[in-house]
Structures are given as C-alpha cells and as structure tokens.
Chain A
C-alpha cells in the first residue's frame, strides 16, 4: 500500500519499460526506498537505525562468507585457523576484525532501534506485525551471535557453549538429554563446533528473510514518526528519495567513522582477552562473561539465586532470561494508550528513562563478576525490568494524563502559525 499521492514509477527508456513488464524490480525498489515511497517529513535521527541495521547485516554476511573460506570447524584446527586468517590471509585481519566488531555494532544499532520503538511506541497498531517480526529478528540475531562467538574456539568460546547449552538443563525431566543433544556429546567438541558453524552460516539468511517481511510489513501502514500522529495529507510526507536517502547516507557516514575507529584502532576493546587462549576443557577462566550485548540478559539470568516456592533457582533464571525478551511479543497489547509518542506522555516518558537507566544497570551487573554487591543490585534492576513491562506500562496507559497532540505532522513541523501563513499566502 502507499498513499494516493505517492509518485508513480515511470520507466525512463525502452529497456526499463521492457524490464518493468517482465520483472518489475526497479518499480519495487522505487516504491520501497525510492521516490515512490512517501515518508513522514518529521523523522529524526533515531529513524536512521533501521537502514543501519540492514547495512550491518550485509556487512556481516559479506565478511562472514569471506571468513568461512579460510576457516575449519574442527576443534583441533579452529583456533589455529583464526590465527591463519589473522596472520597469513591477505587482509584476513581486516575481515575478522570487521566481522567481530560488526557484530557489536549490529547489536548496538538494533538496541537503539528497539529503544526508539519503546519511546515512540512504534509497536502499536497498526504496526504490531512489524514489531513482532522485529523481535523474531532480534532472537535470531542473539542465536547467531552466540554461535558465532563459539567458532574461534578460545576459552570464552568453549565456556560460552558449555554454559549456554547448560541453560537447557534447567528444563525439568528432559533438560539433561536436551543438552547432550544440543552439544552432540557430553561436552562441547567437534560435533558442537560443526553444527554451530553450519547454523551460524544458515541463520543470517533466515534473518534476511524475516527482514524482508519486516520491511514489507512496514510499507503497509508506512513509517511511524516522532509525533505519533498518523499521516493525514500529502504535506505530511516527503518522498523517501532523495530526502531520507540523503539523511541515511549521512547517518551511515557517522556510523562508518565510529566503526573505522573501533576496527582499526581498538579492534579487541569489545572482546575478551581470554578468547585468545585456546579452548581448554579442563580449566575454566576465573571470570567468564558473554559478549557485552548479552550482559543485561545475563544479569537477569544470574539474579535468581534462591529457589522460590517449588521452582528451582536455575529454572527461574532461565525462564526469566528468555521471558525478558518474550514479553516484548505482547507489548502491543499491554500498552493501550491511544497516544503513541512519549513526547506527549509525560508519565510514560519518565518510566521509559527509568527503564533505560535500569537496563544500563543490568548491563553493568551482567559484565561484573557474580558476587556482591552486583548480584543484589541486579536483583533490584531485574524486578524493575519486569514491573515496567508487565505492570507499569499496562496500568499507566489507562490512567495517565497526556499532553495535547498536534493536529497533523505538518502542524508539528511548521507550527500552527506557519501552516496558517502558508495557507494564507496561497
């Protein structure tokens, strides 16, 4: 769907006309990210992260395919193969550092994209499906990122595989057999590494598929915007090209500057030194942590330190960790406020910022050793996390007082006076 005033695709020459009849791919692009897609004119820079996430996905696939050409998923070879890439393969160090830091940047971008969704309630009708697909993409990314981290077969890789598959042991009755089945053995080894490599190569293409659905679903209602007021007339929109291609181009440049700094000057800053030690099944590092992008959820996992009623602590932690993301799936139906943007919801806005601080605290605790006071702090933060989504959001959305909304996007941008003046001048 598109707005009735969208520019219509017109083939410029005979070849494009022929192409349009046989395979209207140029038309699809024109209507998806070209001049044929009207977009609210008031999007701010928080709307850049969708395109940036797409760029990250392409970056990861390109560098990943290259790395796979030089890698071997054999427990006795994998670590040495990474060093072979770093030392002997032409530009191999660049490919690997770009891939490792690319994963971090991908998650950074996705987190900002998700937080944008929280702030502006982008998940609300009519955009629930976009949100649901987005959560699916995030879960797939987490699985892909985790399995990718195992591939270098360093100490952190090995113990990540051990610990994360150990989560499934918490499932009553079938837990232990499931863990053995996941690993293909009793501890991570060749079988584990091979299947993780296979799935790590597969899942990004599944992500591409879901991204296509995500973007497709986006084009049905069109983009949301910072006011949360739906597009009403032609003056509320501008064509995606050249307006947002130019804006996204600039955003991509800023992204690339930060990415370049990390890849070329601080390539190992986001990694862990222990992963430069070859996996040793007989010795666990003193302080094992996942990659930084899992820290908030790792903190939630570790916050459940005591059995509660009849549920063992280990199972509680696992349920809470998965639950902390799965609850995002019902968010569109929990938040019933008719107003979308937190700009016009002062109460919700306050809780949103508390949530941001709360997630920062969880992040900090997740990276810290499992000792006091970090555990107690993470417990308070975990309590708030669940309260926020399951109690605060559903209930304040009924009772809060909201600020008056602008009549239209154009009004919000140009101001009432501006719009009137324009009308008068015409």
Chain B
C-alpha cells in the first residue's frame, strides 16, 4: 500500500516540476536564455597589485610602513566621505605608532561630544578610546550630500566584497573610458550624469568620483612616491587591516596549531594501527 501512495506522490512531484521545466524550456526555445547585458559581459575581475599583498598566504603579515601610508590616504582622501566606525584610534598602535603619537593623532580628529556644562551636542578633540568619526551626522545627511548614494562605511569593506583587497585596489585605480568593444556590442550603454564608468564595479557605473586623481595627491611621510597605483595599493592594505586587525594573530596561531594537530593525528594513527594490529594479522596470542 505505502508503495502505491509513494508512487503517486513521486509522480505528482515529478509531474509538477517537469511541467515547470517544460514551460521554462518553451520560453527558452522561443525567446532564448535571456539577453546579455553590458555588465554581464564587460565586468572585469579584480586583480591585486603586482607582486600581491604582503598579508596574503598562510604566513602573510602586514607591512607596517604600507599600513601607515594607507592610513594617510584614508585620512587625506577617503575620510571626506567614508566613515570607519568599527576602528578606534587606539587600534593605530598596531600600525606601529606609540602612545604619544596616537594621542596626538586622535586629537587631530573632531569627534561628536557633549558640552559638559550645557549638555548640548558639540564636537571635541578625539581621545585614543574614540572611534573614527563619521563625516556625516546620519545616513540622510550622507545621502543628501552625495547625490542620494550613501558612501559605505569602510571598516569591513575588504571582507564585504569578493577578493576584497584586490577589489578595492582595482576599483580606485581602475577608472577610465569604456572599452571600444563594449561600445560596439552595446551601443545603448551609457554612463548617466553623476556616475562614473568603472569596469570593476558590478553595474559598471559607479556613484563615487575617481578619488585618486594625480601623482603626489598625498605626500607620504616616508618619502614613497605617491603614484595612483601606490596610493591604491596602500589604502587597500590599510582597509584589509581595518577589516581584520587580528589577521596576523590568526595566521600565527594557525600555523602553530596546525602543526600540533598533524603531530597528534600522526600519534593517533600509530596508536590506532597498534590497537588494530592484532586483529588485522589474525594474531591473538
């Protein structure tokens, strides 16, 4: 009996799904599998700067000098529009700054505060315990000031995109005119006013104006020449750090723990072999 109920159920499910398949196949046969779109064809895969990032790989580490340069790019360029709300000034200690430098750095930022006498909202110099302030008081203000596109917080940007550090690097150094092939294949493709063409952006048209415009836009404290790819790589590395400040601790612990686990597993294997040896050889006495 149960077999016939299940047969009926099975055929019903199969009929329903094959009905959907038939309909879909009919649509596909008469109208094709859906049209190609410009972003589907010409969206470019992000790539890391030449030589890759120092923090890649199982034992990769951050390059402190690069992080400091990247911080400078964030501070002088990105921070005009983008917040970094999960990062505190005290975290800059990991970039190699000492306590006094961090205090001075924090004090160079204005953070929201409360007037101790009147209770009114005001700003004050930052303390190491403060987080990086947002350039806009709220999302509405951010949208209003940016043509309705809210600049996203950058703290986690490199984890919030596939191949994040490479994506950030490619995106901010990859503006330019569309490929002539794109124009040829999709003559109706255009970049609306207020948007900027960028082949690394999912829809190809990005609301952010090119942030890095000229060599020397930032004067690096360590004397490195601030070319656009250099600034892009440095700020991408900095954002990789803001997204995961515990990366080095994670990889170092991992190497140690993995080695230990391999050792224990080897012992466990020998022990297992030892225990079972009598059975496998049929030796009982």
Binding site for B on A (CB under 8 A): 41, 80, 83, 86-87, 93-94, 97, 238, 242-243, 246-247, 249-250, 252-254, 256-257, 260-261, 263-265, 267-268, 273-274, 276-278, 286, 303-306, 308, 311, 313, 316, 320, 323, 327, 330, 333-334, 336, 371-373, 375-376, 379-380, 382-383, 386-387, 389-391, 394-395, 414, 418, 422
Contact = CB atoms under 8 A, between A and B. Distances in A.
B23 interface: yes
Contacts of B155: 83
A382 B261 contact: no
Contacts of A253: 261, 264-265, 268-269
Nearest to A268: B159
Contacts of B276: 243, 246-247
B257 A87 contact: no
25 contacts: A86-B246, A87-B86, A87-B91, A87-B246, A93-B246, A93-B249, A246-B272, A247-B275, A261-B258, A264-B255, A267-B250, A273-B160, A274-B160, A277-B156, A303-B17, A306-B20, A316-B16, A320-B13, A371-B34, A372-B24, A380-B21, A391-B7, A394-B2, A394-B7, A395-B7
Q: For chain B, which range describes its interface: under 10, 10 to 19, 20 to 34, or 35 or more residues?
A: 35 or more
A250 B265 contact: yes
A308 B19 contact: yes
Nearest to B265: A253
A379 B275 contact: no
Q: Which of A87, A274, A334, A380 has the most C-beta atoms of chain B within 10 angstroms of its own C-beta?
A: A87
Among A247, A254, A256, A263, the one with the most B-chain Cβ atoms within 10 Å of its Cβ is A256
A379 B159 contact: no
A254 B267 CA distance: 12
Contacts of B272: 246-247, 249-250
A381 to B, nearest CB: 9
Nearest to A277: B160
Interface of B: 2-3, 6-7, 9-11, 13-21, 23-25, 28, 33-34, 58, 86, 91, 152-153, 155-156, 159-162, 164, 202, 243-246, 249-251, 253-255, 257-258, 261-262, 264-265, 268-269, 271-272, 274-276, 279, 282
Contacts of B33: 372-373
Given A249-B272, A372-B34, A305 B24 contact: yes
B214 to A, nearest CB: 31
B20 A243 contact: no
Contact of B17 (A260, A304, A389, A422): A304
A379 B24 contact: yes
B166 to A, nearest CB: 13
Nearest to A267: B250
Contacts of B268: 246, 249-250, 252-253
Contact of B28 (A261, A286, A376): A376
The 8 A-B pairs with the shortest beta carbon distances in the complex, nearest first, are A264-B254, A390-B10, A253-B265, A379-B21, A276-B160, A386-B13, A308-B16, A246-B275
Given A330-B2, A390-B13, A376 B25 contact: yes
Interface centre among B11, B86, B202 (most CB of A within 10 A): B86
B63 to A, nearest CB: 19
B265 A256 contact: yes
